[in-house]
Amino acid sequence: MSERLRIGEGQVSGYLSISLGLISLGGVICFHFPEYFTTAEFRSLYPTEMLRWLLLLCLILAFGFALLSFLLGTSSKLAFTGVMITALAVVLGGHTVEIDEFEQSLYSISLDWLLIDIVVLSAIFVPIELFLPKRESQTKFHEEWRTDLVYFAISHLLVQLTAVIIKTPAEFIFRDWGLNDVQSVVSGWPFLIQVFVAILVADLCQYTIHRAFHRLPYLWRVHSVHHSIWAVDWIAGSRLHLVDILITRSLSYIPLYALGFSMAAFYTYVAIVSIQAVAAHANTRLPFGYLKYLLVTPQYHHWHHTEDPKFYDRNFAIHLPLVDKLFGTYYLPGDQWPDSFGLATTQFPKGYLRQLVYPFFTDPTMDVAEPSRR
Ligand SMILES: [Zn+2]
Ligand SMILES: [Zn+2]
C-alpha cells in the first residue's frame, strides 16, 4: 500500500486532527511546565496570551477535522486517535491553564519553539507548495513525511539544550584568548548589524563543516542521510542525522559565543537559520528576482541535492551564495533546475531510528561501483 495520503477518504483530515491535537497537547504541557518545556530567550519574543487563543483554535479545529474524517472515512482509526489526543489536552486544562511563578531550568526542551515553528512554517509552506509548486507531481505529501516530521521535531526540541551545552565549553575555551576587546566591540554594534555579521560568520563556519562532511568518508556517512532525500520539499529538508546537527551547530555557534554577539542576536540568527534552511528545500517556483543572487533560495539549494554527479559538491552555503562564490563552489545556471534528487548509488533504510544507527555500521556507498560525492 502506498504511504502517500489518499485525498477524499478522511485520511488528510484524520492526520490534521491528530497533528492539531498533538500541537494542542504540547501547548498545554508548555503552559503547565514552562520552566522545562519553553525557551527563555524565545518567550520574551512571543505574546503568551495570543498563544492561548491560538491553542483554543487548534482544539476546535482538531475536533472539527476529526468529525470530518469520521464522516468521510472508511476507517475511523485516525479520527478516533485525533479525538482522544485532543480530549486529553482539554482535560489537562486546554487554553485556560494558569501560569504560576516559576524559576527557569538551566536546561530545557524547546517544545514552544517546535510548536510555534511547525504552525508558522506549515501555514507558509503548505499553501506555497500546493499552489506554486516547482514539481507538480510532488504536491502531495511524499512517502517518508512521517519520518521527516520526527527529524523536524527532534532538531527543534534540542535547540536550547544544544545552545547551552555548547556555550559552557565555548566560554571556557575562549576565556584566556584575550578576546575581551573584540567582544566589547561586537556587543556594542547595533542589533541588526550583529545579526547580519553573525549570519556571515556562521555561514562561513557552516560552509567549512559542510564541505568536510562531503569530503571525509566517516562524516559523509552521516551527511549522506540528508542527501538521501529524493523528493526535496520543506519538510524533507529537516532530514539531518543527529551527529550532523550536533557537529554543525557546535562549530557554527562557538565562534558566535567567542566573538561576543548578544544572546538576542544569537537567537535571532537561530530563528533565521531554521526558517531559511526550511525555505531552501521548499518545492516552489516562487520567483525571487535578483534576491536569488544574494540569498540562498530553493533553486540554489536544490542544485546541492541534484542526482547528477556532474554537479556534485556545489552550493554548500545555507544563507549567502557569496560564500560559495568566494571558494569557487557557486552554481546557479539561469532558470534551470535539477531533474532529479538523491543518491542513485545508495540505499538507506526507512525510519528515524534505523537511519540514526545505520551510518555507524554501514558505509552507504560501500557496495557501489562508482562511489561519488566525495
Ligand atoms: Zn550536503
Ligand atoms: Zn539540503
Q: Return the domain boundaries, the chain.
A: 1-108, 159-361
φ, ψ dihedrals at 341, nearest 5°: -130, 170
For the CA atoms of 239, 243, 246, 248, what is the dihedral angle to 10 degrees? -70
52 CA distance to ligand 1 centroid (A)?
39
pLDDT for position 258: 86
106 CA distance to ligand 2 centroid (A)?
32
Query: Which residue ranges in the chain fall short of pLDDT 70?
Result: 1-9, 74-75, 139-141, 345, 366-374
224 CA distance to ligand 1 centroid (A)?
7
317 CA distance to ligand 2 centroid (A)?
10
Check if the beta carbon of residue 4 is closer than 8 Å to that of residue 64.
no
362 CA distance to ligand 1 centroid (A)?
19
Q: Between the CA of residue 70 and those of 8, 91, 132, what are the distances in Å?
A: 12, 22, 30
d(CA 163, CA 171): 12
Considering just the CA atoms, what is the radius of gyration of the chain in Å? 22
pLDDT for position 226: 94
φ, ψ dihedrals at 191, nearest 5°: -50, -50
pLDDT for position 5: 58
Provide CB contacts within 8 A for 79, sequence distance 6+.
10, 13, 14, 17, 66, 67, 69, 70, 73
Nearest to 142 by CA among 311, 287, 342, 354: 342
303 CA distance to ligand 2 centroid (A)?
9
Q: What is the DSSP letter of 3?
A: -
Provide CB contacts within 8 A for 121, sequence distance 6+.
234, 275, 278
231 CA distance to ligand 2 centroid (A)?
11
248 CA distance to ligand 1 centroid (A)?
12
- Which ligand places an atom closest to the C-alpha of 279? 2
226 CA distance to ligand 2 centroid (A)?
6
- Which ligand places an atom closest to the C-alpha of 277? 2
Strands (E), 216-355: none
304 CA distance to ligand 2 centroid (A)?
7
Check if the beta carbon of residue 308 is closer than 8 Å to that of residue 368.
no
pLDDT for position 72: 86
Give the distance, in angstroms, between the CA of residue 232 and the centroid of all CA atoms in the same chain.
13
Would you state the cell numbers that stand for residue 288, as one nine-digit string? Answer: 525571487
Would you state the cell numbers that stand for residue 234, as one nine-digit string? Answer: 520543506
pLDDT for position 371: 44
Nearest to 241 by CA among 158, 314, 303: 158
Check if the beta carbon of residue 373 is closer than 8 Å to that of residue 363.
no
215 CA distance to ligand 2 centroid (A)?
16
- Degrees, nearest 5: CA angle 75-77-78: 105
240 CA distance to ligand 1 centroid (A)?
10
d(CA 202, CA 318): 10
Would you state the cell numbers that stand for residue 83, as one nine-digit string? Answer: 479525538
83 CA distance to ligand 2 centroid (A)?
36
Cα separation of the two ends of the chain: 36
214 CA distance to ligand 1 centroid (A)?
6
316 CA distance to ligand 1 centroid (A)?
6
Check if the beta carbon of residue 31 is closer than 8 Å to that of residue 99.
yes
131 CA distance to ligand 2 centroid (A)?
22
Provide CB contacts within 8 A for 343, sequence distance 6+.
224, 227, 228, 307, 364, 365, 373
- Which ligand places an atom closest to the C-alpha of 316? 1
d(CA 171, CA 164): 11
